[in-house]
Amino acid sequence: MPSAWGLSAGLFAATLLGWAVWRVFGGFPHAKRPGLVLAARELAFLAAAADATYPEGGSDLPSGTQAGIPAYADRYVAAVPRSVGILMRLLFFLVEHATLVFSAPGRGGRRRFSSLSPEQQGAVLEGWRTSSLFPRRLVFSSLRAILTMGFFSDPVVLRALHLGAKQIDSPIVEADLLYPAIGAHPRTIAYEREDLVARSGVPLAADAPLHPDHAEQMQ
Amino acid sequence: MSAAVEGEVRVFAEYERDFTEEADVVVVGSGPCGAVVAHELTARGKRVVLLEEGPPFTPQDFELDGALSMTRMMREAGLRTTRGTIIPTMQTIALGGGSLVNSAICVRPPDFVFEGWEEYAELEGTRRSDLDPHYDAVEAFLGIALTPDELQGQRNLLFRDGCDALGIESEPIARNVRGCRGSGECFTGCRARAKQSMDISYVPAAIKAGARVLTSVQVQEVLSDGRRATGVRGQVVEPFSGRRSHRFRIDAKAVVLAAGCMATPVLLQKSGNLANGSGQVGRNLQFHPGIAVLGIFPEKVDPGFGATQGYQSLAFLREGYKLETLWAPAAILAVRFPGFGHDLKKRLAQVPYAANWDAIATCHRSLGTVRARRGASLDPILTWNFDPEDAQVLGGALYQIARIFFAAGAKTILPGVHGVPDEMHSLEEADVLRTRRYAASDFVTASNHAFCTTRMHGDPAKGVVDPRGRAHEMDGLFLVDTGIFPRCTSVNPMLTGMALAHRSAQAVADEL
Ligand SMILES: Cc1cc2nc3c(=O)[nH]c(=O)nc-3n(C[C@H](O)[C@H](O)[C@H](O)COP(=O)(O)OP(=O)(O)OC[C@H]3O[C@@H](n4cnc5c(N)ncnc54)[C@H](O)[C@@H]3O)c2cc1C
Ligand code: SF4
């Protein structure tokens, strides 16, 4: 039989563990759309980090979540090799939870990044960004790189910055008679020698139509 | 199965079982160096099999988004980095190798680079004049020409204006393109089919001349019998997933490794440390690290238009760096904008007014290694250390870029270096770029120009191959990628790699 002291110490330890687990894993909002690979808690962190990095307002550009950064990051993590994806998820975990140990400034600073106020989130990011320790700066730049790639995947952002890709009708060249699209069989090659088209060489006009992926979609 | 159809290309969907083939020469890797050798040997009537781990990309396979494109076209999804000083470095996995994603810059290094090679590596016959006929041949084949003004776009022309204002020599960049439209998207693949990447230039020509090209095949071992290389073996790999399936073996009288300076040493190490009596396989890794500076102009630049890289200055080569204009997918360049929050958004709103110029530094003192991993992976373990003196050279280059920006009329520059202001508004403010003592970690640098991991050397005890790429210690084994450079070229390496490969083809033919 365990002693009464042992029992209460065990109960205390279990409560502490439960509290710690809840602080790390619990209380996240449900993601509206389940991710390809990321869990709801990771998407919630990405939404917070996206809006802390690209807040709403201030210019014609959308906010981080309006630009679809969390969904993009999910797609990106799914596309990279598994080992790299794990590192990225560890990065998200680290920034989300570091404030449980190293408190953010102000009241209630010992909470997960996604639960902090926008001011506190800003202070935390600034701490990572300007740290004298290179690895801390690297954490910031790696996270920001992923968020920025997501931001620039949004056609709204690209159009606002005049960076939308132009429509280019690829000429048919000799090589197109040799290679099928990736994964397809050569019998799917649709071109014959008569289909060869000379390259245009005409500089793209500033007002040339945009590639359909970057053009404004008709409602 | 044993097949011997001449002049064909095979893709992933066609492999149904294990196979064995025979050839005079098997060439591993279809990047600029491998493609040239394969073509030249086929044109000399040799039976050539060219093996490439990546698939051929067609325009419908190109991905416009820079980061997602990297996950498809680059090894380790484009996130390969070194240990020691962390530097990202990209190697392509595609028919055509690096030529599919590169900016098509073709430069012959000046005489002094080759004189340095000769002295440093005890070489003979590697003067610029020795290589000029080979440069001529490659340039003629690919239609290499200077970028005309109408394709430059403001981003490139402003660089010229800034250089002119300061009396710094600059010039339009010569590129291997035909019918360029100035889309500035060389990095994600040329939808205009203008860039003469190997998959649409040398490889089709080799096929026409009778070469067999097998794509989606990963060479895992070089086979040998005593001192003689006898072929290679490996497995078919699925595009993107890299899943391995059918096994193959190619028996050949000569083996040419052109898998790139990261993969060739790994292949040799995985093949029982082949050709490594000198102990130099995988050593001496040199990069040509680059750093970019953004400049914001009062007038619109619309940096999305224009040749990806259209102007350069070789004026500072002897000081250890080259200056260029640069464009890349916005998502990748924007990573260089400092900060976050409203400040960052405000800065990003200035992108239409921005130009991006870079410096690449020679960095002879900064060395690293390439090592094979345990297990089946062929991804290398890379180590590299950025020498403090080389870092200082990059600092000097930053200052020159700042000068050119302000001379061209920029109102702000964003140097992107740790420890100095995020934004600078005058040359006086930028003076700190010249005077500061830098640590390697101050820079956000990257390098896709990599060399020397199987270097040529006149003394077999100090290098892996002779100046024609012939392995010192093996018969029938040639190495022809940028790994054989004895030192950095100080300019973009592709053309020199191709010129050396062009010359090596004759040496291979002579040995058969
Ligand atoms: C983004 C980018 C921009 C650049 N811009 C320029 C530029 O404008 N000008 C310039 O001069 N240089 C540029 N470079 C560098 C240049 O592209 C390289 O130096 C050049 O491609 C090296 O040629 P290579 O033949 O040695 O190797 P690679 O081009 O790397 O080709 C090696 C090939 O071997 C294949 N391979 C590797 N391992 C195996 C295996 N085990 N089995 C089968 N196949 C294998 C690879 O998939 C690859 O296709 C750039 C590079 C990059 C990444
Ligand atoms: S700038 Fe555009 S059109 Fe010109 S070679 Fe590069 S990708 Fe092709």
**3-class secondary-structure state, position B193:** coil
CB contact under 8 A, A54 and B344: yes
- Ligand nearest the Cα of residue A168 is 2
What is the spatial distance between Cα B82 and Cα B379, in angstroms, rounded to a whole number?
12
What is the spatial distance between Cα B178 and Cα B11, in angstroms, rounded to a whole number?
26
SS3 readout for B319-377: HCEEEEECCCCHHHHHHHCCCCHHHHHHHHCCHHHEEEEEEEECCCCCCEEEECCCCCC
**Residue B447 φ/ψ, nearest 5 degrees:** -150, 125
What is the spatial distance between Cα B372 and Cα B268, in angstroms, rounded to a whole number?
9
| Per-residue confidence (pLDDT) for residue B337, from 0 to 100 | 82
B334 lines ligand 2 (CB under 6 A): no
CB contact under 8 A, A202 and B181: yes
Residue A32 has pLDDT above 70, yes or no: no
| Bridge partners (DSSP) listed for residue B244 | B237
Residue A137 has pLDDT above 80, yes or no: yes
Higher local confidence (pLDDT), B422 or B144: B144
Q: Which helix (H) or strand (E) holds B197?
A: none
Which residue, among B482, B489, B454, has the nearest Cα to B32 in the 3D structure?
Answer: B482
For ligand 2, the distance from its centroid to the CA atom of residue B335, given in whole angstroms, is 22
Distances (CA, A) of B137 to B36, B143, B397: 11, 10, 33
Pick the residue from chain B with its C-alpha nearest to A137: B418
For ligand 2, the distance from its centroid to the CA atom of residue B187, given in whole angstroms, is 9
Residue A13 has pLDDT above 90, yes or no: no
B99 lines ligand 2 (CB under 6 A): no
How many C-beta atoms surround the C-beta of residue A170 within 10 A? 18
CB contact under 8 A, A176 and B58: yes
- The one-letter code for the residue type at B181 is R
What is the spatial distance between Cα B354 and Cα B410, in angstroms, rounded to a whole number?
9
Evaluated on CA atoms B471, B474, B478, B483, the torsion sign reads: negative
pLDDT tens string B187-200 = 999 999 999 999 99
Residue B4 pLDDT grade (very low, low, confident, very high; cuts 50, 70, 90): very low
Residue A1 has pLDDT above 80, yes or no: no
Residues of chain B contacting A134 with CB distance shorter than 8 Å: 441
Any residues with Cβ below 6 Å from ligand 1, and which?
Answer: B 28-34, 51-54, 90-94, 97-99, 101-105, 187, 218-219, 258-260, 263, 267, 378, 448-449, 481-482, 492-495, 497
CB nearest to A179's CB, from B9, B65, B345 = B9
For ligand 1, the distance from its centroid to the CA atom of residue B3, given in whole angstroms, is 29
Which B-chain residues 345-374 have CB contacts (< 8 A) with chain A?
A: 345-346, 348-349, 351-352
| Bridge partners (DSSP) listed for residue B412 | B296
- Ligand nearest the Cα of residue B69 is 1
Residue A17 has pLDDT above 60, yes or no: no
CB nearest to A186's CB, from B11, B77, B178 = B11
Residues of chain A contacting B418 with CB distance shorter than 8 Å: 137
Residue A101 pLDDT grade (very low, low, confident, very high; cuts 50, 70, 90): confident
pLDDT tens string B408-444 = 999 999 998 988 999 999 999 999 999 999 988 888 8
Higher local confidence (pLDDT), A2 or B51: B51
Pick the residue from chain B with its C-alpha nearest to A58: B342
**3-class secondary-structure state, position A125:** helix
Which B-chain residues 13-72 have CB contacts (< 8 A) with chain A?
A: 13-14, 55-61, 64-68, 71-72
DSSP letters of B168-191?
---EEPEESBSS----S-GGG--T
For ligand 2, the distance from its centroid to the CA atom of residue B296, given in whole angstroms, is 24
Which A-chain residues 171-190 have CB contacts (< 8 A) with chain B?
A: 171, 173-176, 178-186
Q: Provide the mean pLDDT of chain A.
A: 87
Burial of residue B378 (CB within 10 Å: 0-12, 13-18, 19+) is buried
What is the spatial distance between Cα B490 and Cα B288, in angstroms, rounded to a whole number?
7
Looking at the CA of residue B306, tell me the nearest atom of ligand 2. 1
Residue A34 has pLDDT above 80, yes or no: no
Compute chain B's Rg from CA coordinates.
22
Residue nearest to atom 8 of ligand 2 (CA): B190
What is the spatial distance between Cα B310 and Cα B414, in angstroms, rounded to a whole number?
21
Nearest CA distance, B59 vs chain A (angstrom): 7
Least confident of B32-46, B127-141, B336-350: B336-350
Residue A3 pLDDT grade (very low, low, confident, very high; cuts 50, 70, 90): low
- B390 near B91, Cβ under 8 Å? no
